[in-house]
Structures are given as structure tokens and as C-alpha cells.
Structure 1
Amino acid sequence: MPTAAFDLLGTFFSTEPLRQRLCALGAPDHALELWWAESLRDALALTGAGATRPLEDVLAATLPRILAELGRPAQDPSRVELVLKGLRVLNPADGAADAAARLSASGWTLIGLTRGSEAHARALTERAGLRKQFAALIAADHLGTRHADPYALARQHAGGETWLVTTHAWDAIAARRAGLRTAWISRRERHWPATYPEPDLQVPDLAACVQVLERRGATLGAMHA
């Protein structure tokens, strides 16, 4: 039985609504990308130093710095909190719920993978009515204070061929090194970095990804029939 490990934040759940909340603070349109990139950098640095923290904690700590960098410092704390509250009410991205339903019906095992906390991942999937679709949620909590490999943990929960589905090129290359096959959805980053080995699959959206994975699942099933 093949496994699809979905990156949750930014791939399965859309972060676009956070852009509107940032713009309400007077931040420019690109503030979301800057906030996310600097927070991921800081989160990965903490993990490398043996001090893993859930991504939502790092996002909260990074936001005041981002606003200051963009010339919007000294914001009312209650208004900043409105942005952070948005993390708790993210909705599935276009096609995400359908992707989960179709792959589950096709015999795929689904795993949710996140740099955030397990509680945050569980809350988002339960709010969307999709928690039961995922066999496991692998989160920053599971990394502990050591530099554990989240992709290796995903493989431990997986059955058969395992794919990472993500919109982040850096995520895909790390998963590939851990032995996962990779499906990169180009809707966010648009361009694959020339310094990275090509992913196994490049598609524009989740709908196209599911079509390919359904065919792959059928092929694997026929091989083992």
C-alpha cells in the first residue's frame, strides 16, 4: 500500500488568508513570504542546534521583527494577535479535501507532516473534518531536542512506496535524500531551483498530483497482485 505524506502548512492548508491579516497592519503584499521564509530559517536553525520549537512558536516570535523590517514596528499587540490567530483557522487549500478523499479511496495511506506542533496539526485537520483521513500526524513534537529527521519518521509510519507532496522545493530535496519520492506542486514557488536535483513529479496543483498518484497506485497494485 503506497503512502502520501502531505506537508500541511502551505500545501494541504493554505496560508493565503494570513496575507490579508498582514496587509491590515499596513505590511506590503510580500510580507507573508518574508515572514514565512525567515521563520522557517529560524526554526531549522533551532532544530540544528538541538532546540526544536514548533513553527507556530517561531512565527509568533518572528512577526514583530518582520514588521519592524518592513517599517511597521510598535504595532498594537491585539492587532498582531489577530494575525497569529489566523494560524489556527487555516482552511484546506483548493483541491486538498478532494485529494485526501480520492487517495484514501484508492488505497493510499495518508500522513500529515508539519514543522508545527501535533496539537496544531490535529486542530486544523479536525476543524476541516479530515482528521480520520490521516493515519498519522508527524510534527515538531516528535523531533524532540535532537536533530531527528522528520522524513525518516514518516517512512517509519508508511507502508510501501512513500511520496512527499509539497509546495516547498527545500522540503522536496530533503525528503528525497531520506529516500522518499517527491511530488512538487509549483503553485507557490513557480520555478524549481537549478541547484536541486529534479523531483520525481512536478505539477501545477493538487488535482494534477492526485491524478498521477492514482495511476501510480494502480500500477503498484497490479505489480503486487
Structure 2
Amino acid sequence: MPDIVFDIIGTCIGYDVMLDAISTRLGDRLLEHNINVELFFNAWGTACERDFSYLSQIGHYQTTRKILRATFYRTLYHAGIQDPKAFASEDDLDFLSSEWLKLKARPELPALWKLLRDNGFTVWCLTDGDQERVKGYFRNSNLEMPDENVISCDSLGVGKPTPAVYEYMLNKLPNHGADSWFAAAHQWDCCAAKSAGFRTAWTNIYEKYPGEDIFGLPDIVAEGLLDLGEKIVAAQKNSK
């Protein structure tokens, strides 16, 4: 039976809850400084991902939730707020951090996973998020996912895109890599997974453009999640 491993946050789980939270809590204040909510959140999330990766690379692994809090005021400063702690309070940050726990699945995800399972795939998750938080996202979305199929980098003490993470995941699969796919909305994720030996599938729901001139192309490029599933199923059938 084929296996498919999904990146979770950004791929399966969307960011609408956080965008709404930032807009509700800080939107008017940000607008006074001509700061777009989506652009601010993208900068904040990117800063978090960068520091998560760099800390992992130097052997000083920290959880993403901790890093998200630590990069908040710095991101405000780089967005043009000269006194970030006067602009946003600790209560504001506590509110946004609590909303981070309330993220939900992208609308097409239940149908995608059903399509794959109906076609014989075992679905796995590989995430930089901690397992309890990711399980909470599934509960928020009324989705079933066995605990043993959710692999968090917290348990490894090293984060994506370190090659060892993907090698560990590939070796953990029942077939040890045979008929194994990796799916993500992040091209860096697909690039690393492909180097480890996965067949890869990328969806444009987050990054929009694949940046193939720097990442190369994954095996599948898809528009949205259902298109991703249909193309994976077709490719798997054609490979037999």
C-alpha cells in the first residue's frame, strides 16, 4: 500500500484564524502605519520559520510556539513600528498566541484525505508543530488522524528542513520508502523530501509560485488540494 506524508501547518491547516485575530486585535492600529495584515503575518511567520530552522541547525532546537512569541515584537519593529511594546501589549501577544491554537483545516482537506484513503493510501503527518497542538487543529476541524501517524519534530529534537528529518520519516514508513509520497505547500519542504527519496507533490495554495529556478520541480504541481489528490492518485496508478 502506498504512503503519503503531509506537511501540516500551511499545507493542511490554513491561517485564516490568525489573519482574523490580527485584524480584530491590531488591524486598525496597523492600518494607521500603512501595514497590511496579511503582509505582517507573512513576515512574522517567515521570521519564525527562519529562526526555527537556524536554531535547529546549530543544535539549539526550540519549539515553534516559543519562537513565534519571541519574533513578534521584532517583526513589528521591522514593519516600521519604532516602539513595538508601546504599540502592542503582552495581552495582545497572549491573545494572538492563544488564537494560534485554534487554526483549522483548509476546506478541501477532508475530501482530499478521503480520496487518498479510498485509493489505498495511508496518510501520515510530519510537522514542526508539537503533536498536541497539531492534534488540537484536527479536533478543531473534526478530522480523524491516528496519534501514531502524527510525527512531530519535537520528538526528534531537530526540525525541517534538516535532511535527517525526512530520512527518519522515510525509514519509519512500513515499506521503508517504496511507494512513498510527500505533499506540501512549501517548495523548500518538497525539495528536501525529494532529496531524501520521496516522490513529491506541491500545491500552490500558499506560495502561489513554485520557484522552480531555485528549488527545481516536484513530481506534481497542483492547483489546490483536491487537484493535488487527483494527480497523486493518477500518478500512482500509472506507475504500476
**1:100 and 1:56 mapped to 2: Cα distance?**
26
Task: Tell me the percent identity.
Answer: 22
**Structure 1 stretch displaced more, 113-122 or 149-158:** 149-158
Q: Given that residues 113 and 137 in structure 1 are in contact (C-alpha distance below 8 angstroms), is that contact kept between their aligned partners in structure 2?
A: yes
Q: CA deviation at 1:217?
A: 3.6
**2:152 and 2:11 mapped to 1: Cα distance?**
15
Q: CA deviation at 1:133?
A: 5.7
Gaps of 5+ in 1: none
**3-state SS in 2 of match to 1:202:** strand
Letter in 2 for 1:180: F
Q: Spell out, residue by residue over 1:113-168, the C-alpha distance to the aligned partner (whole angstroms, 9 max, x if none).
A: 11111221222223323233675111121222696722122212323311111111
Match in the other structure for 1:196: 215
Match in the other structure for 1:155: 170
TM-score, normalised to structure 1's length? 0.89
- Relative to 1, partners in 2 of residues 1:79 and 1:118: Cα closer, same or farther, differing over 3 Å? same
Letter in 2 for 1:197: G
**Structure 1 stretch displaced more, 124-133 or 155-164:** 124-133
**3-state SS in 1 of match to 2:145:** helix
Q: CA deviation at 1:55?
A: 1.4
1:1-225 aligned at under 5 Å gives the runs 1-23=1-23, 24-25=25-26, 26-27=29-30, 28-29=36-37, 30-72=39-81, 73-74=84-85, 75-132=88-145, 136-144=149-157, 149-158=164-173, 159=175, 160-193=178-211, 194-219=213-238, 223=240
Q: Given that residues 122 and 131 in structure 1 are in contact (C-alpha distance below 8 angstroms), is that contact kept between their aligned partners in structure 2?
A: no
**2:8 and 2:235 mapped to 1: Cα distance?**
22
User: Which of the two has greater helix per residue?
Assistant: 2
Q: Given that residues 101 and 133 in structure 1 are in contact (C-alpha distance below 8 angstroms), is that contact kept between their aligned partners in structure 2?
A: no
Gaps of 5+ in 2: 31-35
**Structure 1 stretch displaced more, 155-164 or 198-207:** 155-164
Instruction: Give the count of matched residue pairs.
Output: 221
**3-state SS in 2 of match to 1:4:** strand
**2:49 and 2:134 mapped to 1: Cα distance?**
17
Q: CA deviation at 1:198?
A: 1.1
Q: Given that residues 6 and 110 in structure 1 are in contact (C-alpha distance below 8 angstroms), is that contact kept between their aligned partners in structure 2?
A: yes
TM-score, normalised to structure 2's length? 0.84
Q: Given that residues 138 and 153 in structure 1 are in contact (C-alpha distance below 8 angstroms), is that contact kept between their aligned partners in structure 2?
A: no
Q: CA deviation at 1:112?
A: 0.8
Q: CA deviation at 1:6?
A: 0.9
